[in-house]
Chains A and B, each alone.
Chain A
Amino acid sequence: MTVHDPIDVEVIRKDFPLLTRTVHDRPIVYLDSASSSLQPRQVLAAMDHYYETTHANVHRGVYATAEGATELYEGARRKVGRFIGAPDPKREIVFTKNATEALNLVANSWGRSNLAKGDVVVLTEMEHHANLVPWLMLAESIGLSLRYLPIDGQGRLDLSDLDRIVDGAKVVALSAMSNVLGTINPVPTIAEAAHRAGAVVVVDGAQSVPHLPTNVTTLGADFLAFSAHKMEGPTGIGVLWGRAELLAAMPPFLGGGGMILDVSLEGFTPAEPPWRFEAGTPPIAEAVGLAAAVDYLTGVGMEHIVAHERLITTYAIEALHERLGPDCTIFGPPPGGDRGGVLSLAYRDVHAHDLAQVLDQFGVCVRPGHHCAKPLMRKLGVTATARASIGLYNDERDIDTLIEGLNHVGTVFG
């Protein structure tokens, strides 16, 4: 059975200037979108246009360009809010530096004002360090009790003990999609159990928001963090969505200009959310770029992106198995509805660094290493994998080149 691909990759690829370059005299094969995606020219043009016509600091001046910049910046906020189904897009989107900062904001601002010694925080064994270290830091400072949802042999969360693990928890923080295994976690099910137990649900959407339609209400999230640079947007800007009443009760995270209502020599009154959490000059051009990225993704259609990436992911898993057999191990679940396009690979006993080095000669960009998930790597029994990750601009030929490169690894390392 052939499944119809709703995306015309040839057309999409023309939007991404970086895909026209060559590496070692071969066309670039970009398979590292989980690390950072490429940007379409529409995003680059929006940022250029902003700098060329409208740049000024926001929330300050009364002149035309300052108003224009403020409107673009606040317009980006509303657009991003609508993209993830935020009930109150104007007030619930906080712009940060990246997903990591968004998660640190939650752990520090919400965490320090709502958690005390001995409180239970539930994480999972597959968390990125960004959703692990901030909680470990908080635990070190105030004495939390950390529990972990385990993973099973196929790289899915084992939920058989879910109710017992979340019982009494104040926070359940988990990634919606693993950046190592590609597993798409059943966040709504976990959030329901967490809420029954009275916990707040923090979702790391760094991998899910770029690749799956997102609605914070159906997810059951109380907070959602993600980064623009993994969703065809620029580096330097990330997002924290938080439920309005939670944000309203939180103290500021960073202090400075822009986040206050009033300041005296004795003290200060913080501004309302989201501005309370945006100290200093924000990433304005980046917000413009992020808004253009949202337009781009919406234009292609998130449903189409899911369908296309699932086709390529399935093709990749099947082709790797068929053509490389037992030489190649793919970590994570088999193709299916809970399988995203992140393929952590091992080839024979060749180290991931060496794999990536040989693949580079074929123009193939994959990431070797622990992918900022060392506890998970330990659980998988490896120190590093080579990770190939799929974006909307990848096609079957990219996978074929990956396999050609892997075959050559066999030749070099015998």
Chain B
Amino acid sequence: MPGLEDLYREIILDHYRSPRNRGELPSPPAHRVEGFNPLCGDEVVVSLDVADGQLRDIKLAGSGCSISQSSGSLMSAAVKGKPIDEVRELIRVFKTMMSVHEASLGDDRTTGAEDSPAEPEPVDVSKLGELAALQGVVKFPVRIKCATLSWNALTQGLDELASA
């Protein structure tokens, strides 16, 4: 049985209490994306400053639960200043971690995991650094949507910029 300590790791609570990269960038020039969880009303606004293949700056605004807020804060710290292809790779690894197949959860509960691949590829959590603290979320399937909220908004923003 998963316990609360699997979910509310110290790093997560720290990012919840003191979120990094909080706020909005003036838009334009920054690109602005809104993410929305209709289930619980959580909202996130991601501002992106992308130039020369680099995510030069990122800020997050909005409100939500500890998981959505800390996941956004951890994400912003991890991607800020990175080349876009590295950001994309990090998003992929993170989303894979969030979509583990129920078999790898160690019990027989079904997950609400997003886009569950038929054969989950193993995730190299060492690539994730502090973000690995969010691993426990998959044991609480209804919270996965909270954890992926800002990541989906970031993906949408990068896609919009790429096709602009």
Contacts and interface: CB of A to CB of B under 8 A. Distances in A.
Contact of B41 (A361, A383, A413): A383
B41 A370 contact: yes
A361 B66 contact: no
Contacts of B34: none
B137 to A, nearest CB: 11
Interface string A321-362: 000000000000000000000000000001111100110010
A13 interface: no
Interface in A214-257: none
A358 B4 contact: yes
A368 interface: yes
Interface in B81-111: none
A383 B42 CA distance: 7
Given A351-B65, A353-B67, A383 B3 contact: no
B43 A357 contact: no
B162 interface: no
Contact of A369 (B3, B17, B41): B41
Most buried by B among A352, A368, A369, A383: A383
A68 to B, nearest CB: 39
Contact of A412 (B1, B4, B65): B4
B40 A361 contact: no
A191 B63 CA distance: 39
Given A361-B4, A369-B40, A370-B41, 13 more contacts: A351-B65, A351-B66, A352-B40, A353-B67, A353-B146, A354-B66, A357-B4, A368-B40, A384-B40, A412-B13, A413-B66, A414-B13, A414-B17
A358 B43 CA distance: 22
Interface of B: 1, 3-4, 7-8, 13, 17, 39-43, 63-67, 140, 143, 146
27 contacts: A24-B1, A25-B1, A350-B66, A351-B64, A351-B65, A351-B66, A353-B42, A353-B66, A353-B143, A354-B65, A354-B67, A357-B4, A357-B7, A357-B140, A357-B143, A358-B4, A368-B40, A369-B39, A369-B40, A369-B41, A377-B41, A383-B40, A383-B63, A412-B4, A412-B13, A413-B13, A414-B13
Top-6 shortest CB links A-B: A353-B65, A351-B65, A383-B41, A370-B41, A354-B66, A369-B40
Contacts of A353: 40, 42, 64-67, 143, 146
Contacts of A384: 40-42
A414 B14 CA distance: 11
Interface residues of A, number: 20
A369 B145 CA distance: 14
Interface of A: 24-25, 350-354, 357-358, 361, 368-370, 374, 377, 383-384, 412-414
Contacts of B13: 412-414
A413 B140 CA distance: 18
A374 B41 contact: yes
Contacts of A358: 4
A298 B67 CA distance: 45
Contacts of B140: 357
B41 A412 contact: no
The A contact surface, by secondary structure, is: mixed
A301 to B, nearest CB: 37
A352 B65 CA distance: 7
Contacts of B8: 412
Contacts of A351: 64-66
Contacts of B7: 357
A370 to B, nearest CB: 5
B152 to A, nearest CB: 17
Nearest to B5: A412
A353 B69 CA distance: 12
B68 to A, nearest CB: 8
B4 A370 contact: no
A383 B67 CA distance: 15
B36 to A, nearest CB: 11
Contacts of A377: 41
Contacts of B39: 369
Contacts of B143: 353, 357
Nearest to B39: A369
Contacts of A24: 1
A413 B65 CA distance: 12
Nearest to A24: B1
Contacts of A369: 39-41
A24 B43 CA distance: 31
Contacts of A357: 4, 7, 140, 143
A352 B40 CA distance: 9
Contacts of B64: 351, 353, 383
A310 B160 CA distance: 54
Nearest to B7: A357
B63 A361 contact: no
Nearest to A368: B40
A353 B1 CA distance: 19
Contacts of A368: 40
A107 B70 CA distance: 43
A287 to B, nearest CB: 31
Most buried by A among B4, B43, B63: B4
A354 B143 CA distance: 10
B28 to A, nearest CB: 28
